[in-house]
Structure 1
Amino acid sequence: MAAAIDGYLAELDRALRGPRRVKTGLLREARDSLVDATEAYVDLGLTPEVAARRAVDDFGEVSRIAPGYQAELALAQGRRTALLAFASLIVQPPIWHLVSWQAAEPDPLPGLAGVLDMLVSRLGTLAVVVALLAVWASGTGVRRLGANPRVIRLTGIFAFTAAATFSPIGLMLALFSPATGPMALARLPIALVVLILPMLLVALNGARCLTTARAATTAR
């Protein structure tokens, strides 16, 4: 009984791209359905081997089943990326306000630092709004937009754009800060920990968005 089901699930696993935990859950649900169907056929008098093959046949070919699963995986990846981008961006203002206060920086910042600070503030607000829209589009917004791989692809592009925009601006702010003393030396390590590393993670998930969106488009 297990051989036919395991072979089918292995083929389905190879056909899918997306968050590992979500994919594992989908494969587990598929296995449970196949096992239940097999047991039902066994109760009707079929041998376990024949019952398993019949259950697999009834479940459908992988090429027909995979697109639905892949769309769900793409949505899960898109939502994860959007939430990560939102969380990474929304914590930046309070952290840097605290750092500026500890460093006794002037408000507004002078020179290039002031221009960069104003730029990151305005772009950050816009990016937070876009991240929230992406969360909605890959969640409750599916009822209106459907499971559209294009939305997930746009979420991936947004993630890359956010990482490529805020990482260098954050580094420049850390380098051109008018702060002096210990906090001036601490700004760069703080930027690496609370901005650069999270943005790298956002970019990595953006790449996964593009991969899952491409797989969902191909599986259609």
Structure 2
Amino acid sequence: MSDPVDEYAAALSAALHGPARVKARLVEEIRDGLADAVADHAGAGLTSREAAELAVREFGTVEELVPSCQRELTIGQTRATARMVAVAVPVLIVCWLAVWSGRELPEAAQVLAAIGVTAVLAAGLTLITTGALARRLPMPPLLPLVAAWTGTTASVAMPLATVVLAIAAPAAGWPLVLPAALLTVVSHGVVAASARACRHCARLPVGQPSAS
């Protein structure tokens, strides 16, 4: 016979979306709380099955619990996307400045780099807005979506800049072109995937922060 606590934890995990590590921690915390409740009820004379079923009923349905948990996951995914943009874009810009060896960048590359810098600034603002203190306040409803599209914009601008610079790169810079291009491909994949996950989280309903 299946364990009601295991079923509850599995259903909750399936209903939540966000960073795997944060989700696993949340589900484990809830499982621990259920285990404590089961132990209390078993100590009062209930069978293990009865104690587990009562503990699950007291916790409320999965549907009731999901919004509050999803809020933390959505914040986590928003921050993860912002961090990736804040790290990946400056690294790529430094790489291509090294390839270009101090020469003036082509105009198209300058425009794309400016887009990348703007994305980094937006990512930094997102990290500040979703910091530890800010998590006690209502999250701006459009913030996850803004972070998602910031990541998408950066993930598109940087490969385009890479192509422009690779085509126009001086001969002396070619030994650095391949590793820089490889780093661009990897960064694009990571940032774009995180941005897609962030857009998905942005569409999910979330609860309000606890007043405690």
TM-score (norm 1): 0.84
Gaps of 5+ in 2: none
3-state DSSP class of the match of 1:139? Answer: coil
Q: Quote the Cα distance in structure 2 between the aligned partners of 1:144 and 1:25.
A: 19
- Corresponding residue of 2:157: 165
Q: Quote the Cα distance in structure 2 between the aligned partners of 1:76 and 1:143.
A: 10
Q: Does 1:56 align with 2:48?
A: no
How far apart are residue 33 of structure 1 and its match?
0.1
Q: Taking structure 1 as reference, are residues 38 and 145 closer, same or farther at Cα in structure 2, changes over 3 Å only?
A: closer
3-state DSSP class of the match of 2:104? Answer: coil
3-state DSSP class of the match of 1:128? Answer: helix
RMSD: 2.3
State, as a whole percentage, how many aligned pairs show the same letter.
Answer: 29
- Asked if 2 retains the 8 angstrom alpha-carbon contact of 1:71 and 1:149, the reply is no
- Asked if 2 retains the 8 angstrom alpha-carbon contact of 1:74 and 1:216, the reply is no
3-state DSSP class of the match of 2:171? Answer: coil
Q: Quote the Cα distance in structure 2 between the aligned partners of 1:211 and 1:60.
A: 25
Q: Quote the Cα distance in structure 1 between the aligned partners of 2:43 and 2:140.
A: 41
- Corresponding residue of 1:43: 43
Q: Taking structure 1 as reference, are residues 13 and 145 closer, same or farther at Cα in structure 2, changes over 3 Å only?
A: same
- Corresponding residue of 1:195: 184
- Corresponding residue of 1:130: 122
3-state DSSP class of the match of 2:38? Answer: helix
Q: Quote the Cα distance in structure 2 between the aligned partners of 1:11 and 1:184.
A: 52
CA deviation profile, 1:76-133 (whole Å, cap 9, x unmatched): 11101100111001223332232233xxx6x325xxx2x1343234333322111101
How far apart are residue 149 of structure 1 and its match?
4.7
The 4+ residue runs of structure 1 with deviation greater than 4 A are: none
How far apart are residue 17 of structure 1 and its match?
1.2
Higher Rg: 1
- Corresponding residue of 1:142: 134
Q: Does 1:75 align with 2:71?
A: no
Q: Taking structure 1 as reference, are residues 69 and 45 closer, same or farther at Cα in structure 2, changes over 3 Å only?
A: same
Gaps of 5+ in 1: none
- Corresponding residue of 1:180: 171
CA deviation profile, 1:125-157 (whole Å, cap 9, x unmatched): 322111101222232463475234521121111
How far apart are residue 47 of structure 1 and its match?
1.6
- Asked if 2 retains the 8 angstrom alpha-carbon contact of 1:137 and 1:145, the reply is no
- Count of residue correspondences: 208
